[in-house]
Amino acid sequence: MFLSVFDLFKVGVGPSSSHTMGPMVAGARFLDLLRAAPFRAQGLRASLHGSLAFTGKGHATDRATILGLAGFTPETMDREAADAALEQNRQTRLLHPEGLGDLRFDPERDLIFDFDRPLPGHANGMILMATDAQGDVILRETYYSIGGGFVLTEGELEDRASDRRSDAASSVPYPFATAARMLEMAAQSGLSIAQMKLANERVYRSDIQIRDGLARIWQVMRDCMDRGLAAEGTLPGGLKVRRRAAAIHQALLAERGQNLTAPHVINDWMSAYAMAVNEENAAGGQVVTAPTNGAAGVVPAVIRYWLDHVPGASERDIGTFLLTASAIGGLVKHNASISGAEAGCQAEVGSASAMAAAGLAAVLGGTPEQVENAAEIALEHHLGMTCDPVAGLVQVPCIERNGLGAIKAVSAASLSLRGDGKHFVPLDAAIETMRQTGRDMSEKYKETSLGGLAVNVPNC
């Protein structure tokens, strides 16, 4: 099983990898399909289903769908150009994707939030259509946004369900699909988890591409965090949630060096780092999926904690952190889910915390067994966590939840390093438990805003 570190950590835009980035990616894919078609379309139409319908407005799914159909992609999107395209669409009811001419698209008529008809493949389903001059559908494709910005067509999802894997699984030197197999390969090879992951990446990229790619991931993460630590004001969406990371950070800086500062204040540093990222995400800023937007603050917060607060930490080892974290994230995605709409927030912040714990244990000198233990501890103590965003916005409880996920990750790594790697619950068992729990969880608690905090606190 191979999933690249650059698939888990993708540069994109907020507020949601599954609800914002995914629909934008789906729109771009549909345009490619349309460009290859033997006919010329006159209009476009989109139908959103399941969680994309219920929390789409709060997650900017409507905006993302229009931008995707206009030809924008998450990684390269220019904010001003996107705003201009949306304004032009509001005025003309037309989209202008490259190579396809003017296409009719009236959001009030052609963007449908279908609350009554969930699609069978996944909670995040959407149907994109092209129409002729009379408005009849001449091309249709169903897409599923399965979390972390990953998008599959209906046919691709069926292939995955029937376990038809690509040749990529066998073309890498260490194709571990379970944590148990990962540890076996580490023992046989004498390599760390990061070293095995790097060997797999080298099948598809040069060392320079890998090095530069990892450096860019961290740079985007750090830039996002720095913007969040400097920004003040109120987040968009109507809840009037105030940004807090900047004020907390300033207070912590002012307290630095005081002899009476309590040891637990380090938790406030980690929370400020994580909240800064997720406040930027909530504002629609540029973030890195880690493994999703809703959980984007955990991994960078733990890296920043390690770099700024742990003696001996060096940016030279960030690649080890990210490669190790992506190995764990790949196992979770392969064997369970990283989608809140599929398995609740245990699949997002829980996965992120496990990834961060593993990465921290690795750069602190942990053995593969200790790294696996760190990931297991972090994931185990997120099991059952629901995804219940108030008003469908990735703000409450999502922003604070990233801070607590970072704190748990550091605690998990520390606990694992106090032992020898031997422990009672294997990571594979925790991942399978998360999958089963997600399967059994009521749909109310899986990113629909129909249960939990979403219905028990005021929405305005």
**Residue type at 38 in one-letter notation:** P
Same fold, 17-161 and 172-455: no
Residue tagged 């604070």 (tokens):
400
Return the CATH fold of 17-161. 60s Ribosomal Protein L30; Chain: A; (3.30.1330)
What sections of 233-310 are H helices per DSSP? 245-255, 266-282, 298-309
CB atoms within 10 A of CB 7: 17
Say what the pLDDT of residue 460 is. 58
Say what the pLDDT of residue 264 is. 96
Say what the pLDDT of residue 166 is. 43
Q: If phi over 0 gives left and psi between -120 and 50 gives alpha, with beta otherwise, what is residue 166?
A: beta
- The residues spanned by each domain of the chain are 17-161, 172-455
Say what the pLDDT of residue 161 is. 67
> Cα–Cα distances in Å, from 245 out to 149, 249, 269, 278, 295?
26, 6, 9, 10, 16
What distance in Å separates the CA atoms of residue 350 and residue 406, rounded to the nearest whole number?
10
Q: Retrieve residue 52's tokens.
A: 């994309």
Cis bond leading into 38, ω under 30°? no
Report pLDDT digits (tens) over 186-231: 999 999 999 999 999 999 999 999 999 999 999 999 999 999 999 9
Per-residue pLDDT of the chain (460 residues; tens, 9 = 90+): 799 999 999 999 999 999 999 999 999 999 999 999 999 999 999 999 999 999 988 899 999 999 999 999 999 999 899 999 999 999 999 999 999 999 999 999 999 999 999 999 999 999 999 999 999 999 999 999 999 999 999 999 888 766 544 434 569 999 999 999 999 999 999 999 999 999 999 999 999 999 999 999 999 999 999 999 999 999 999 999 999 999 999 999 999 988 888 999 999 999 999 999 999 999 999 999 999 999 999 999 999 999 999 999 999 999 999 999 999 999 999 999 999 999 999 999 999 999 999 999 999 999 999 999 999 999 999 999 999 999 999 999 999 999 999 999 999 999 999 999 999 999 999 999 999 999 999 999 999 999 999 999 877 5
What distance in Å separates the CA atoms of residue 12 and residue 281, rounded to the nearest whole number?
10
What distance in Å separates the CA atoms of residue 366 and residue 416, rounded to the nearest whole number?
8
**Angle (deg, nearest 10), helices 318-335 and 179-189:** 140
What distance in Å separates the CA atoms of residue 242 and residue 194, rounded to the nearest whole number?
39
Q: Domain 172-455 has what CATH class?
A: mainly alpha
First and final C-alpha spacing in the chain: 45
Residue 93 three-state SS: coil
CB atoms within 10 A of CB 325: 35
